[in-house]
Amino acid sequence: MKLISKRFIWMALTAGSLLALSSCKKALEVKAYSYFTSDNFFSNADEAYMATLGVYGAVSNFSGYGWYVPMVLDNDNDISQISGNSVDSWRVIPHYQGIPETDIYYSTWSVLYQGIDRANVVIEKIPQMALFTSGTDDQKAQLNRMLGEAKFLRGFYYSELVRLWGDVPFKTASSKAGDNLKGTLTDRYVIYTQAIKDMQEAADVLPAAAPTDERINKWGAKAMLARVCLFAGGYALANDGTMKRPANYKDYYKMAQTQINEIMTANPYKLNPSYPQVFINQCKHNLEPTESIFQIALYTVADPAGDQPNSSRFGFWNAPQTAKGIYGSTNLRQATVRPFYESFQSGDVRKDFAVARFTVAADGSRTYPTTSTADQNWAPGKWSREYQTNSITEQTSTDINCVVMRYSDLLLMRAEVENELNEGPNDLALDAINQVRRRAYGLDMPGNAVTLTITDGGTGYTANPTLQITGGGGNYAAAVVATRTGNKITALTLSNPGYGYTSAPTVTVTGGNGTGAVITASLVPKPTTAQVYIPGGLAKQQFLDTLVSERAKELCFEGMRRSDLIRWNLLGAKIADTYARTQAIRTTYPYPAYTNFKTGKHELFPYPQNERDVNSSITRQNPGW
């Protein structure tokens, strides 16, 4: 069950209603926090807790991490794109056709600043509480934890603004009645300094124990701090329109290394041996604190008939096309690109789990379309309706959390840091990436994939029969007849090798007007470590190239790919390469990112025009806009 309760979400939303930004034409001119900033609030730990939940709740919505940040603003890239070519805001931004007036920019900008201003209130008010210094040990511990949470979230929200917009207005004092936050743009590295400080101070006071809900703990704060350091030390679009990284970038990598080493020494995390189970747990709302390091809680709190702004688009917008019936329908908008699927090696469990080449019918069955353009609708498979709760409240939007960081991400960050600081991969780097690859190839996961052999082609088949694979204890193996010669079955296409089979399943052949065909399934032996592990001896750039590919396969569709490519200064090159590969498939394969993307412009988003209309202190636009 979902471990962050409905009460938690309702409290966060209630807090949000009391800590609301005013209308879109107010340039972050914040209404007075007349309730939370009054002298009669913050009188006990429960009130402080409610205020802290309001900081979390600022981004638990479509404008934050339920939709826009992980899906709209992370596309288009080399692994996925938004389908279609209409003028919807959620299409024009990924297709690199957005303009400063496009409303989604301002929506996300606003909720991040809303969260920051809420955090500023908590950071100021908690130390002023009598209980902060004179309460019981338990009360003081609770309040210190909440103070740490607010500092962490402020640092996180500012780092996200910088990741998306570069230099932004910066304020660490809470808004009072009459304040008008028409702030000037502050250099991003000044903001990074404060964000790092906030996260460091947060980690010092947050509990080390594994969380029982979505609240951040000590190790989660350190892991997210390491990510912020990699972005601070990575490439970014400078104000002169060129891609640069700071001269002292290795200092940021060293800070990341320190955080990662401390986490690894404490050893609070481990990989679930089953890659598919990680996402099935997400879909079932089963918190997995040893795998999922930090996540944003999302929940449907009202009438399930339509979209709920505090719920999630995971499993609805980025899932295989599903007809309403046994499961709720989906509205496939985020599609993968075929060259990404083809980049996986045989035996990689992620290949046919993360990428769905199937659709789901009303009766719950899978179909693998074979039309010439079917590959344009291959979808993220991680959050298929098949894995969800199928609750009445999740028939449109879902309650699936946005997992901001998983342990495999941290391992791959370790590999990257060690490679960079040692001018090539050391043993720590190789161990880290190979832990991820070991899980990817199912070396510790029970069961195997299957392969099929035509034992007897039968006779009299004037049409292709249907193959049904059952038993064996595994999941989702599927195949179709590919060729008949002389009314005999002579070739098969294995649509999905499946996973988790502990014995050979049974293959039943039906239809096609023939008889006697026998198809035999057998288990595919697991690959050896020599076949799976990245070997030693790679040069620094070779290992980084390997890591760039591995992060794509491991973390695909989870909301960071585009930004990763930017910090490596690879976004334009990867878009060009993906276009070339799609054109090699067929010249009509749609990939508008290639036509529209402009280097020196699209590595940052434009400052929202709504904000500039009322904030004359923002005297310039980002390069190219």
First to last CA, the chain: 46
**Domain boundaries defined on the chain:** 293-405, 450-523
Q: What angle do CA 240, 243, 247 make, to 5 degrees?
A: 95
Cα–Cα distance, 133 to 147 (Å, whole number): 13
| 183 DSSP assignment | P
Q: What is the Cα–Cα distance from 496 to 477, expressed in whole angstroms?
A: 5
pLDDT digits (tens, 9 = 90+) for 89-124: 999 999 999 999 999 999 999 999 999 999 999 999
Both tokens of 249, joined, read 């970038």
pLDDT at 26: 31
Separation of CA 253 from chain center: 22
Residue 294 Rama label (left phi>0; alpha psi -120 to 50; beta): beta
Place of tokens 């209603």: 17
Strand partners, 518: 456
Which pair of structure tokens corresponds to residue 282? 């997400």
143 contacts 126 by C-beta, under 8 angstroms: yes
Q: What is the pLDDT of residue 304?
A: 55
Strand segments, DSSP code E, in 486-608 are 488-496, 506-510, 515-523
3-state secondary structure of 305: coil
| pLDDT reported for residue 431 | 98
Positions in the chain whose pLDDT score sits under 70: 1-39, 177-181, 302-308
| Identity of the amino acid at 129 | M
